[in-house]
Copies of this chain bind each other. A is one copy, B any other.
Amino acid sequence: MDRNPPHFIDGGITVHPAVRDFLRISGEGGWINAVFPYDMGGQQIPVSIFFACQFMMAAANYSLSVYPGLASGAARLIYSFGSNELRKAYAEKMVAGTWQGTMALTEPEAGSSLGDVTTSAEPTAHGYYLVRGQKTFISAGDHDCADNIVHLMLARVKGAPAGVKGLSLFVVPKKRVAANGALEFNDVNCTGCYHKMGYRGAPIAQLSMGEENDCRGFLVGEENRGLSYMFQMMNEARIGVGMGATAIATAAYYASLEYARVRLQGRKLAEKDASKPQVPIIEHADIRRMLLKQRAIAEGSLSLMIYAGKLVDLHLSGEGESRERYELLLDFLTPIVKSYPSEMGIVSTSQAIQCLGGYGYSDEFPVEQYMRDARIHPIHEGTTGIQGMDLLGRKVTMKNGKAFGLYLEEIAKTVKEAKSLPGIAGHAARLEEAVEIQKKVTGSLVEHAVKGEIDRFLADATLYLEMAGVICIAWQWLMQGVVARRALDAGASGDARTFLEGKLYTMRYFFEYELPAVEGLSRRLISADAPTVEMKAEHFDD
C-alpha cells in the first residue's frame, strides 16, 4: 500500500484492492461495532480489550486499520445522536463494512480553526438541507473499495451564528438512499487526493458539495450543536491517533530489535584484538540505549492507551460520582494520550532507523516507512499545539482544577505503593518530585491567566504538554515497575523472570534518560522571559 498509493482518476480515488476485503471482513467479524452498546446492536466489548486488538491491527498496517476505524466512529455518531431512519439507511451499512464512514470537518480555510467552517446548509421543505461547500484532508473521503461513502460533516445552517456555535452536524452521503431504496448520486464530488510523505495507504480527499445544487444533508440531532456531537468522534479519534502512533512505534522497535540481534558489527570496547569475530550490535551500550528508548516510549504509551481504555470502561459502567471521576480523568488525559505517542513516535521510529544505519534509510527494511507514517500523528485530529492549549487552557483549570486533582490522586496512589518496594522506592520519590515541579509550573502559568495575560499563559502550552506527557509516562512505568517488582519478589523464574527484569531495566531507563527532561522544560516554563510573545512578525525579516 505504501508503494502503490491511492490515485485520483476520473473524479474518484482508486485504492489498493485489499481494502475492500479488509473492510468486509472487519464488518463480518464484528470489529466495527465491537464496542458499541447492546442497545445500538453492538457487542459491548470492553474498550480496554478492544484497544489491545486495535493496537495489533495498526502495528500490522496503520493505513489499513484506519478504514474500519472511521466507519466505526461515524456509525457510532449516528447511533448516538441521529434518527432511526439514519441508523437504518446509513449506519447499518457502515457497521457491515460495505460502506465507508468519514469525519468531514476541515476546509481549505478552516483547519485548526473549526469556527471558520463555511460549508453551508439550507433547510428545505422536504426535511433535508441543501449543502454547498468544500472540504479538504478528508481521510478515506473517497475510494473505490466501498459501495458508498458517508460523511459526518460539519456545516453552517443559513443564518446561524458565526464561530463554532453555529456549526451543525449532517450525514452527507456520496450516494443517498432514495425513497425506493435505490442509491442515487448526491452531488458530492471528489476533486483531488493528496500525495503524502507516509500513511500512504489511506486516501486523503478533497471534496466539493453541491456543484449542481443537489447535495442533500440530513441533520443529526439539533441545529448548532454539531461540534458538541462531533466531539464524541473527535475524542475517540484522538485516542485512536495515540494508539496508531503507539502501534507504529512498536512495530519499528521490534524491527530494529530483530536487526540488532543478528547484525554483526564491531567488538566490545575493551576488545583490542581486531582478528576476533564481530559481535551482534545489541551488545553495544549505545544500541541498547536506542532500543530501550524505543521500548520505553512504545510500552509506556501502550500502557497509557490501555489505561485510557479502562477509564472509558469504568466511566461507562460507573454511576454518579464514580462515573464523573472517570470521565474527568479521561478528559484530562486525552491531550496527553493523543500527543505523547504522536510526538515521541517520530523520535522513536527515527531511533529505529538509526539502529539499522544505512540499511534503515533504504526501503529494503520497513523502518523508514514507519518514520514517514508516524509523522502524520502530531498533525491530524488536532495538532500538538491544539492539544497543548486544550490541556493547559481547558483541562487543567476545568471545574476549578477537579480533573487535575483527580489525576494527581491517581499518581499518588502508585507512588505510595512503589515506596514500599525496595529497588523502586527511589523512583517513586523521583516521580513525586517531578509532580511537585508540574504543580509549581502550573501555578506559575495560571497566574498569567488570572492576570488576564492570556497570550503569555498559553504561549508555551505545547511545552507544558510535553512536560506533562513525560511525567505521565513515568507514572505508567512506575505502575509497571510495581507489578514487575512484586512478581519477581513472589518468585517468578525462567523466561518470566527475564521478562520482568527487562521491564525493570526499561523503567530505570525511563527515569534515568527521559524523566530528567522535566528539569529543562520546567526551567523554561517558569521563566519570565517571553520572546515569542514580545517579538513582532517583522523580526523574522532578513
- Interchain CB contact under 8 A, A537 and B455: no
Any chain B CB within 8 A of the CB of A289?
Answer: yes
Kindly state the separation between the CA atoms of A458 and B270 in the bound complex, as whole angstroms. 11
Kindly state the separation between the CA atoms of A540 and B498 in the bound complex, as whole angstroms. 8
- Interchain CB contact under 8 A, A385 and B274: no
Any chain B CB within 8 A of the CB of A364?
Answer: yes
List A residues 8-44 near B (Cβ within 8 Å).
none
Give per-residue flags for A448-471: 1 if the beta carbon is below 8 A from chain B beta carbons, else 0.
Answer: 000000110011111100000000
Kindly state the separation between the CA atoms of A445 and B353 in the bound complex, as whole angstroms. 28
Any chain B CB within 8 A of the CB of A194?
Answer: yes
Chain B residues lying within 8 Å of A60, measured Cβ to Cβ, are none
- Interchain CB contact under 8 A, B458 and A542: no
- Interchain CB contact under 8 A, A112 and B266: yes
Give per-residue flags for A375-398: 1 if the beta carbon is below 8 A from chain B beta carbons, else 0.
Answer: 110111001110011000000000
- Interchain CB contact under 8 A, B502 and A539: yes
Given A116-B278, A285-B459, A292-B531, A524-B512 contact (CB < 8 Å): yes
| Stretch binding the partner chain, chosen from A80-88, A314-322, A355-363 | A355-363
Any chain B CB within 8 A of the CB of A288?
Answer: yes
Kindly state the separation between the CA atoms of A273 and B512 in the bound complex, as whole angstroms. 47
- Interchain CB contact under 8 A, A357 and B532: no
- Interchain CB contact under 8 A, B509 and A164: no
- Interchain CB contact under 8 A, A375 and B379: no
Contact-residue size bin, chain A (C-beta under 8 Å from the other chain): 35 or more
List A residues 363-420 near B (Cβ within 8 Å).
363-364, 368, 371-372, 375-376, 378-380, 383-385, 388-389
Given A505-B531, A524-B512, A540-B268 contact (CB < 8 Å): no
Any chain B CB within 8 A of the CB of A286?
Answer: yes
- Interchain CB contact under 8 A, B505 and A354: no
List A residues 477-504 near B (Cβ within 8 Å).
495, 498-499, 501-502
- Interchain CB contact under 8 A, A521 and B532: no
CB distance from A510 to the nearest CB of B (A): 10
Q: Which residue of B is nearest A459, CB measured? A: B285
Q: Is the interface of A mostly helix, strand, loop or mixed?
A: helix
- Interchain CB contact under 8 A, B357 and A113: no
Give per-residue flags for A104-139: 1 if the beta carbon is below 8 A from chain B beta carbons, else 0.
Answer: 001001111101100000000000000000001100
Q: Which residue of B is nearest A199, CB measured? A: B361
Kindly state the separation between the CA atoms of A307 and B181 in the bound complex, as whole angstroms. 74
- Interchain CB contact under 8 A, B289 and A462: yes
Given A363-B197, A516-B523, A375-B384 contact (CB < 8 Å): no
Any chain B CB within 8 A of the CB of A282?
Answer: yes
Chain B residues lying within 8 Å of A346, measured Cβ to Cβ, are 350
Give per-residue flags for A521-535: 1 if the beta carbon is below 8 A from chain B beta carbons, else 0.
Answer: 101100101011111
Q: Which residue of B is nearest A291, CB measured? A: B540
CB distance from A131 to the nearest CB of B (A): 21
Any chain B CB within 8 A of the CB of A323?
Answer: no
| Stretch binding the partner chain, chosen from A48-56, A90-98, A257-265 | A257-265
Chain B residues lying within 8 Å of A196, measured Cβ to Cβ, are 361-363, 368
Partner of A361, one of B197, B454, B505, B517: B197
CB distance from A406 to the nearest CB of B (A): 27
Chain B residues lying within 8 Å of A523, measured Cβ to Cβ, are 516, 519
Given A194-B364, A542-B502, A285-B537 contact (CB < 8 Å): no
Chain B residues lying within 8 Å of A462, measured Cβ to Cβ, are 286, 289
- Interchain CB contact under 8 A, B531 and A521: no
Kindly state the separation between the CA atoms of A291 and B541 in the bound complex, as whole angstroms. 12
List A residues 201-242 near B (Cβ within 8 Å).
204
Q: Which residue of B is nearest A522, CB measured? A: B516
Interface centre among A364, A455, A463 (most CB of B within 10 A): A455
Q: Give me the 5 closest cross-chain CB pairs, A-B, nearest first.
A: A163-B274, A516-B520, A285-B459, A502-B539, A197-B368
Given contacts A269-B455, A282-B540, A354-B378, 9 further A-B contacts (CB under 8 A): A194-B362, A197-B363, A286-B389, A288-B532, A499-B542, A502-B538, A516-B521, A517-B520, A518-B520
6 residue pairs A–B, Cβ–Cβ below 8 Å: A109-B265, A194-B362, A195-B362, A196-B363, A204-B358, A268-B455
